[in-house]
Amino acid sequence: VTIKQIVKGKKTWNSLDLPPGSPSASVSSAPATAVGLLTAKSSEAIGRNPDAAGAIRTNMILGAALAEGLGILSFVLGILLWTRIG
Amino acid sequence: VEFLFPHGFKYPPDFHIPSLTGESLFHVGPLSYTNAHLTMAIVIVLLFGVVWLATRDLRERPSGLQNATELLVQGLSDFVVSIGGPSARKYLPLFGTLFLFIVVSNWLSVVPFVGQVKFLHSPTADYHINFGMAVLAWVAYQTEGFRTLKLEYAKRWFNLSGFKDGPFIGAIFILVGLIELFSEIFRMLTLTLRLWGNVLGGEIMLVVMSGLLFLPGLALPFVGLEVFIGLVQGLVFALLVLMYFVLAVESHDEEHQEGSHTDTDRVPSPEQHPQARAA
């Protein structure tokens, strides 16, 4: 199976026989880094300006959720591989 | 050893992974009633029961359940006002309903037997229900945008005002508008998948962890983690919907005027926040 056959529509992604965990395994370090950076920076910001803690925390939760969304998308992709839907 | 492993020792054991969607219990014509529907009804009965008990005899000086409910509603209301200003308080019913429903559903997913027996399946671990909520919120905030800004609302997607500065700027504005239009549609998808992936992933993780660690009690820290994640995801879903509402009703033209009052409360002037002196 080559990528060319998949792009032309002759084969599906399932014929690559990827392990179902591979999308999550390869992607999940990126959102983890992003969430870590977000938390570190917003902790610093709260330390500098404790009055703005509420707004900073809200922004942090929003940003963490958006960053985590990518990891969750890879998890969904893994489930698609596992159930052989895609 | 025979008491611990009645069917013989096997590692790793056979996991009963919760199903990705609800399973059909019975059919009514072309529609099927799934176990997620049943659990959703249980959630609604639970929430209604608490509210009914709390408001059965209202007092001037609340105590007990009425006090707790008022604290919760007041907290949600203050949160909405802190995000979108006093004019956003009219979105509290939708925000609060989404938040309470999602959080209770998420917390049901870590209760034993939910997701494991045939009749119970956490509603937010079924992507149809999440997609329904996302579509509802999407339609609601688009309607609110059109109602508030009339046809000016569509200007954020089809902005021809750049052509008066030349064709190049105009083309860029059109392109930006198209990207905005696509992100508008992707909001539904990301809202759905974020919630579903988190809740279902948590359920799978609990099953796998309690299988791998032999003793059920060792998986308890992960239950705590899931309770926290359930709260955060409920907050995130409702908060994102609220943010979409706030973004939909704000006009793009007034935002960039220098010195408007909306400008000053985002960037505080140096007089209001003097620099801290070095110790």
Phi then psi for residue B67, to 5 deg, are: -60, -45
Express each pLDDT in B46-102 by its tens digit: 999 999 999 888 888 888 889 999 999 999 999 999 888 899 999 999 999 999 999
ipTM of the modeled complex: 0.72
Which residues of chain A make contact with B193, given a CB cutoff of 8 A? Answer: 69, 72-73, 76
Phi then psi for residue B110, to 5 deg, are: -100, -5
**Nearest CA distance, A16 vs chain B (angstrom):** 23
pTM: 0.80
The answer to whether B194 contacts A62, with C-beta atoms less than 8 Å apart, is no
Please give the DSSP secondary-structure letter assigned to residue B17: P
Q: Which of B19, B21, B194, B246 should be substituted to probe chain A, the one whose Cβ sees the most A Cβ atoms within 10 Å?
A: B194
**DSSP secondary structure letters along A5-39:** HHHHTSS-GGGG---TTHHHHHHTHHHHHHHHHHH
Distance CA B109, CA B204 (A): 10
pLDDT, average across residues A10-29: 80
Residue of chain A whose Cα is closest to the Cα of B81: A55
Residue of chain B whose Cα is closest to the Cα of A63: B236
- Of B124, B123, B127, B112, nearest to B16 by C-alpha is B112
Nearest to B201 among A62, A65, A75 (CB): A75
Give the position of tokens 């509420």. A54
Of the pLDDT bands very low, low, confident and very high (cuts 50, 70, 90), residue B5 is low
A47 pLDDT more than 80: yes
**Nearest CA distance, B193 vs chain A (angstrom):** 7
**Nearest CA distance, A24 vs chain B (angstrom):** 11
Q: How far are the Cα atoms of A20, B177, B245, B250 from residue B256, in angstroms, in the given order?
A: 48, 17, 19, 12
In this prediction, what percent of chain A has a pLDDT beyond 90?
A: 26
Of the pLDDT bands very low, low, confident and very high (cuts 50, 70, 90), residue B227 is very high
Residue of chain A whose Cα is closest to the Cα of B189: A73
Express each pLDDT in B93-147 by its tens digit: 999 999 999 999 999 988 888 877 888 899 999 999 999 999 999 999 999 999 9
Q: Which of A43-47, B117-121, B213-217 has the lowest mean pLDDT?
A: B213-217
pLDDT given for residue B152 in this prediction: 86
Q: Is the peptide bond before B12 cis (omega within 30 degrees of 0)?
A: yes
